[in-house]
Amino acid sequence: MDTAVNESLSISYNLEQFLIVLSVSLSIATLSKTVPILRRIPYTLLLVIVGMALAFVDVKLINLSPELIMEIFLPPLLFEAAWNLQWRNLKENWFPITLFATLGVVICVVGIAFPLSYWGGMELAIAFLAAAALSATDPVSVIALFKELGASKKLNTLMEGESLFNDGVAVVVFLILVGIPLGTSTFDLSTTLARFVTVIGIGVGCGLLIGFSLSLLTQRFDLPFVEQSLTLVSAYGAYILAENLGGSGVIGVVVVGMVLGNYGSRIGMNPRTRLIVSIFWEFVAFFVNSIIFLLIGDQIGLSSLSDHLNLILIAIAAVVVTRLVSVFGLSLISNKVSDQISSTHITLQEQTVLWWGGLRGSVAIAVALSVPQAIAERQAIIDIVFGVVLFTLLVQGLTTQFVLKGLDLIGDQPQRLEYAELVSRQIALRRVLAEIQKSDEFPDIDPERLRYKQELVQGQLQSVTDKLKLLLQEYPLLQEVANKKFDQTVLDIEAETYADLIRMGRLEENIMPLLVTLEGENAVEQS
């Protein structure tokens, strides 16, 4: 009886602690979005500061276990990023992203581990663990800044794509290296490479299997909340399945997110469902980031940080230098071969932003906290990673805006965003007006009220149209944007039509939009 009572009290206490964490983290995150003075500071940094303040007054929230970090927090963060990464943008920039996410990780791990060992006195195997954790980039606040300031789509794609695949590779490297200090494995280049390929291959296979299976399943029904729930199940399901089969759960989540975001959501979800699912995942990522950064601040002691200050400073210098070498060096390689296999040419200004914007965040912290308790230097690794994350958020995160403006990389992007918003509003108002004009669909509404609403919408539509005309006159280059949006809209309509035909059973499988083929044939004929 006493045991049952103690377990009940323990569950009740843990639940209360979780609710406190939830309330504090979401309150701080909300304030950072609503209070003007706080908007300039990344909300993740505010959460860390509040967490540290709680730790300073000796208020400890929840003890984070490695399993909780890796299995609960990582899958939703990775899935949300993969869901929103558009394949068409990724395809245009695949080569530099691949270089950054593979060779970039190797450069980072080696370039951080040896300075930590040589100048910091760390055992090399432990230094490699800290370096693997620090090789995971997580520029959440930088991406938000890109969108707010209207940075180019290419910069957004390069930063997001690199971060997404970089995280997967970094975690795999970490999991391979973690057995060395524990004495459960030894480093052998051929064996390590074989294991690396196997682990990633299993992860990719699990992600593809679950992603395409769910894509075909969601074609059979149109239930938004069920489809939303299935995406959540797929994120955790891909992670668990891949891990149990000896593969990378992280890679599995990334792949299933990309498949569902680019294929499943097109053939199995209507536009309204896609919007519901996207909003849901945006909140989940915000929710998880809010909790993890608060808890990290709460877990770190200032005295512990000061004890490892020399290691933190070495790691900061190494991170900045290795990031510089990897971005500028690999961009040079990418640009050399861009004419043959990739259309992407990364300018020096863009390389500078990619270098300075390579922040470390929740993924690096999650990996560091997953270091087994059996490793004596675990706290040193956590302190090093936390110190670097704090530096990148506080120094690099807060100055990236000035770097963008100083390098003139914003350009006409704010006008492009304004144009896109005006066009969207114009389309919406036209649809509203068309519905209102169908008076037979509103038999119970007073005709005078219908007329008033119609005139109101017409006035708003005219105002938006006038603004669009002025914008096009002031910025003629926006006409090119309009043409591209029109071409893409036509293709999207055709693709949606095929998806509807598949759902109705009139097509067995999705087919490539005919307009793409026709455009390719026309281009060949013209050349």
Q: What is the pLDDT of residues 81-136, one digit of tens each?
A: 888 888 877 888 888 988 998 999 999 999 999 999 999 999 998 999 999 999 98
Band (pLDDT 50/70/90 cuts) for residue 512 is very low
How far is CA 440 from each of CA 275, 437, 444, 451, rounded to the nearest angstrom? Answer: 30, 9, 9, 13
- Please give the residue that has the higher pLDDT: either 490 or 469: 469
Band (pLDDT 50/70/90 cuts) for residue 517 is very low
Q: What is the pLDDT of residue 357?
A: 86
Q: Residues 128, 315: contact at Cβ < 8 Å?
A: no
Beta carbons within 8 Å of 46's beta carbon, 6+ residues apart? 28, 29, 31, 32, 38
Of the listed ranges 113-127, 305-319, 355-369, the least confidently predicted one is 355-369
Helix (H, G, I), strand (E, B), or coil: what is residue 308? coil
Band (pLDDT 50/70/90 cuts) for residue 421 is confident
Band (pLDDT 50/70/90 cuts) for residue 516 is very low
Q: Residues 462, 397: contact at Cβ < 8 Å?
A: no
Q: What is the pLDDT of residue 57?
A: 59
How far is CA 287 from each of CA 149, 275, 294, 322, 332, rounded to the nearest angstrom? Answer: 24, 18, 11, 31, 38
Q: Which helix (DSSP H) or strand (DSSP E) does residue 518 occupy?
A: helix 514-526
Q: Which amino acid is at 200?
A: I
How far apart CA 178 and CA 167 sit, in angstroms, is 16
Q: Residues 341, 95: contact at Cβ < 8 Å?
A: yes
Q: What is the pLDDT of residue 352?
A: 92
Residue (of 367, 351, 359) closest to 389 by Cα position: 359
* pLDDT tens-digit readout, 230-286: 999 999 999 999 989 988 888 899 999 999 988 888 887 887 788 888 888 888 887
- Please give the residue that has the higher pLDDT: either 519 or 411: 411
How far apart CA 521 and CA 527 sit, in angstroms, is 10
Residue 483 is encoded by which pair of tokens?
């043409």
Count of CA atoms in the C-beta half-sphere (13 A) of 14: 8
Residue 404 C-alpha from the chain's centroid: 20
Mean pLDDT for the chain overall: 79
How far apart CA 316 and CA 394 sit, in angstroms, is 12
Residue 120 is encoded by which pair of tokens?
């910091």
Band (pLDDT 50/70/90 cuts) for residue 69 is low
Region 418-429 average pLDDT = 78
Q: Residues 128, 108: contact at Cβ < 8 Å?
A: no
Region 291-306 average pLDDT = 70
How far apart CA 171 and CA 168 sit, in angstroms, is 5
Q: What is the pLDDT of residue 340?
A: 67
Beta carbons within 8 Å of 57's beta carbon, 6+ residues apart? none
**CA atoms 197, 337, 318, 251: torsion sign:** negative
Q: What is the pLDDT of residue 319?
A: 95
Beta carbons within 8 Å of 284's beta carbon, 6+ residues apart? 76, 80, 232
- Please give the residue that has the higher pLDDT: either 63 or 281: 281
Of the listed ranges 130-134, 191-195, 225-229, 301-305, the least confidently predicted one is 301-305
How far apart CA 468 and CA 285 sit, in angstroms, is 34
Helix (H, G, I), strand (E, B), or coil: what is residue 366? helix
Residue 371 has pLDDT above 70, yes or no: yes
How far is CA 412 from each of CA 261, 271, 490, rounded to the nearest angstrom? Answer: 29, 29, 25
Q: What is the pLDDT of residue 202?
A: 93
- Please give the residue that has the higher pLDDT: either 305 or 475: 305
How far apart CA 246 and CA 90 sit, in angstroms, is 28
Count of CA atoms in the C-beta half-sphere (13 A) of 156: 18
**CA atoms 81, 86, 89, 93: torsion sign:** positive
Radius of gyration of the chain (CA): 25
How far is CA 76 from each of CA 12, 21, 263, rounded to the nearest angstrom? Answer: 26, 18, 19
Beta carbons within 8 Å of 99's beta carbon, 6+ residues apart? 330, 333, 334
* pLDDT tens-digit readout, 197-208: 898 999 999 999
Place of tokens 């950054």: 100
DSSP 170: H
Q: Which amino acid is at 395?
A: V
Q: Residues 158, 93: contact at Cβ < 8 Å?
A: yes
* Alpha helices for 392-412 (secondary structure H): 397-406
